[in-house]
Structure 1
Amino acid sequence: MKILMVCLGNICRSPLAHGVMQHLVEQEGLDWEIDSAGTGDWHVGHQPDKRSIAVAKKYGVDITQQRAQWFQRDFFERYDHIYVMDNNNFRDVTGLAECDEDRAKVRMFLLKDIVPDPYFDENQFEPVYHMIEKRCRELIRELRK
C-alpha cells in the first residue's frame, strides 16, 4: 500500500503525518510506503520546519531525512491513498485529477475537521502532533481491514 500525506508547503503538517505514519507502520511490521508532498512549491528540497522536527523528535519520530516536494499529477498513479490536511489542499489536489478514479483516492486526513496549520502559531505544533498521531493510528486500523 502506498500512502501520500499532503499539506500546503510540505514542511509542517504533512511531514509530521508522513513521519508518524511511517513510524507506526514500521512498529506494526507493515510493508507500506508512506510519503508526503505540498500543493505549493516554495520549500521544495528543504527539510521540515524545525518546530515539526522538534515535536516529532520529542515523541521518538525522526523526520530529518524528509525533503519537501511539490504535488505532481503523476502522484495519482503512484499512490493508493492521498490524504490532505485541509479544504484548500483538497481543492488543489482534486483539481489536478484527470478522472473519477484519481479523485476517489483523495480524502481529508481528518474525517470531520481540518488539521490546522501551525506555521504561524508555535503553540499549535504539539496539539497538531497529537491530532495527527491519533488519526494515523485510526487509519492503520481502517486500512488493514
Structure 2
Amino acid sequence: MQKIVFVCLGNICRSPAAEAVLAAKAPAAGLSLRIDSAGTGDWHVGEPAYGPMSRAAAARGYDLSGLRARQFTARDFAAFDLIVVMDKTNERDVERLRPAGSATPVRQMMSYAPQAGANTVPDPYYTRDFGEALDLIERAVDGLVAELGRT
C-alpha cells in the first residue's frame, strides 16, 4: 500500500482538498492508498477544513468534514512514500525538516498536471478562489492517479 501525504501551509484548504479528491478517485483506479494531509504551520492544528473550502469541495462531491489539521513533522518522511506539496514555499519548508539519509520524494502538486499551465496551487484562503484551487487539484490528482496506476 502506497502512503501519500499532501502538504500546504495551514492544512485547512488545499491539502485536505487534495486528500479528499485522491480518496474519492483512487478506488475507481484500483489503487490501495493511505492518504493524509498536513500543514507546514501550526496555526490551525486540530481545526476542521476551512468552511468555504469545505462547501466548495462538497459541491463537487468531496467530503472534508472528518479531516482535522495537523502539522507536518520530520517523522512524516519515514511514514510516507511520497510527499506532495502545493507550492515552492511548502516545498522549502518541508525540505528543511528532511532527516539526514531520507530519500522520500517531495514533488510539487502541479508536476502531475503540467498541461494545466500552473506551477502551483494558489492558496484560496488568500485568493478566495476555491473553484480554481479545486480545478487544479482535480487535474493534478488525475495525473497522480495515472502515474500511480503505471507503477
- Which range, TM-score by smaller chain? over 0.9
Q: Which amino acid aligns with 1:118?
A: P
Match of 1:116 in 2: 122
Q: Could you tell me how far 1:100 is from its partner in structure 2?
A: 5.1
Match of 2:8 in 1: 7
RMSD: 1.2
Match of 1:35 in 2: 36
For the 8 Å contact 2:78–2:102, the answer to whether it is kept is no
Aligned-partner Cα distance in 2 for 1:29–1:54: 28
Q: Could you tell me how far 1:143 is from its partner in structure 2?
A: 1.6
Task: Say if 2:107 is the partner of 1:107.
Answer: yes
Gaps (5+ residues) in structure 2? none
**Normalization by structure 1: what TM-score?**
0.94
Secondary structure class of the residue paired with 1:110: helix
Provide the identity percentage. 41
Q: Could you tell me how far 1:52 is from its partner in structure 2?
A: 1.0
Instruction: Report how many residues are paired.
Output: 143
The aligned runs of 1:89-100 (5 Å cut-off) are: 89-99=90-100
Task: Say if 2:138 is the partner of 1:128.
Answer: no
**Normalization by structure 2: what TM-score?**
0.90
Aligned-partner Cα distance in 1 for 2:148–2:127: 32
